[in-house]
Amino acid sequence: MAARTLRIGLIPGDGIGREVIPAGRRVLEALPTSLGLKFSFTHLDAGFETFQKQGVALPDKTVDVLKSDCDGALFGAVSSPTVATKGYSSPIVALRKRLSLYANVRPVKSTRSAARPVDLVIVRENTEDLYVKEEKTYNAPDGSKIAEAIKRISETASFNISAMAGDIALRRQRVRDGGVDSIHSRPLVTITHKSNVLSQTDGLFRETARKALGLDKYQMVGVEEQIVDSMVYKLFRQPQDYDVIVAPNLYGDILSDGAAALVGSLGLVPSANVGRDFVIGEPCHGSAPDIEGQNIANPIATIRSTALMLEFQGEEQAAAKIYAAVDANLEEGKLLTPDMGGKATTTEVIDDVCSRL
């Protein structure tokens, strides 16, 4: 059978993005040829440094190449200006909109030997809720100010994100069945909402999520619910109980950042921005200008983001091999970057993970 060639756009961005995105390329190139995969790479511009040079943070050329010449992409990090800068806006937010990447998927995983093992994914709707940014401020009769914001929940977006959560639960089980150790024995999706208070908006999300996950294709997936405040409490008390968590935009945003604290470093946490036809892997850490150029940035988040990108391209076996190599590196604990309490360089960690492939 002929090898499949995947065309990957590489967008380093700013700061340590330029040091960790090469880790994604090296890991892909180190995959065993028996998997039947080949890769071609295209380097693309985006970020604050690009804005300073070209006057735009996300050049049209970058979007055009991603749409026409790439099957997926890896995005590094973005530096945000410390003061308001006319004409500048986040390129990753713009990419999500222009490529219709309606889901933000963030796995959070600890080492197997951790005192409290964590292996979960938060699936966050990426287009609506309070983030439609429709706000207004007006004066009350007594002259005081009142601010209001629209919370928009649609049946279509809720169905799409919940179906994706179901697909991810099934995919994670296939990856586990491929030989990856896990604390879970079956796929489970937890619907998170606040319908006890917000009966219209969160009520629609809850009802639609139940409908989506009730389809025959998800009959192997367990489904449960948590009110969001209870979810926060239980997530930190008993994270081992959760597999896939699906939530509207705001709750998913809060839960995602909080869950990263469960594994000790943002340098370990990957994410993917996912649509129907495209996926961008993106480590969750920022551009970290304080350590830029020192070769000590943790590349694990990027390496895991690379595997996550492969999952959404239907290459679960390749993803499983990358996850297993990363887990072996972390379990052994001899080559860890400073954020993990070690002294290893970025290059040493990349070399170690690639050697395990």
User: Could you tell me which of 192, 184, 186, 198 has the C-alpha nearest to residue 225?
Assistant: 192
141 CB neighbour count, 10 Å cutoff: 5
Predicted pLDDT at 204: 98
Residue 318 tokens, joined: 């390749």
Angle at CA of residue 184, ends 254 and 314, nearest 5°: 80
User: What was the pLDDT predicted at 284?
Assistant: 87
CA distance 342 to 349: 11
* Residue 285, pLDDT score: 87
Place of tokens 């511009």: 45
CB 221 within 8 A of CB 213: yes
User: Residue 311 in contact with residue 261, Cβ under 8 Å?
Assistant: no
pTM, 2 dp: 0.88
Is residue 107 within 8 A of residue 140, CB to CB? The reply is no
Question: Three-class SS string for the chain?
Answer: CCCEEEEEEEEEECCCHHHHHHHHHHHHHHCCHHHCEEEEEEECCCCHHHHHHHCCCCCHHHHHHHHHHCCEEEEEECCCCCCCCCCCCCHHHHHHHHCCCCEEEEEEECCCCCCCCCEEEEEEECCCEHHHCCEEEEECCCCCEEEEECCECCHHHHHHHHHHHHHHHHHHHHHHHCCCCCCCCCCEEEEEECCCCCCCHHHHHHHHHHHHHCCHHHCCCEEEEEEHHHHHHHHHHCHHHCCEEEECHHHHHHHHHHHHHHHCCHHHCCCEEECCCCEEECCCCCCCCCCCCCCCCCCHHHHHHHHHHHHHCCCHHHHHHHHHHHHHHHHHCCCCCHHHCCCCCHHHHHHHHHHHC
pLDDT at 35: 94
CB 316 within 8 A of CB 35: no
Q: What are phi and psi of 94, to 5 degrees?
A: -65, -40
Cα-Cα-Cα-Cα dihedral sign, residues 301, 10, 125, 209? negative
Q: Which residues pair with 74 in a beta bridge?
A: 10, 281
Classify domain 1-101+275-357 by CATH architecture.
Answer: 3-Layer(aba) Sandwich (3.40)
Contact 236, 268 (CB under 8 A): no
Other Cβ atoms closer than 10 A to 43: 11
- Angular region, 133: left φ>0, alpha ψ -120 to 50, beta rest: left
Beta strand 279-281 with 272-274 is antiparallel
Query: Which residues in the chain show pLDDT less than 70?
Result: 1, 112-113, 179-181
Assess contact for 209 and 266: CB atoms under 8 A: no
Residue-level pLDDT at 340 = 87
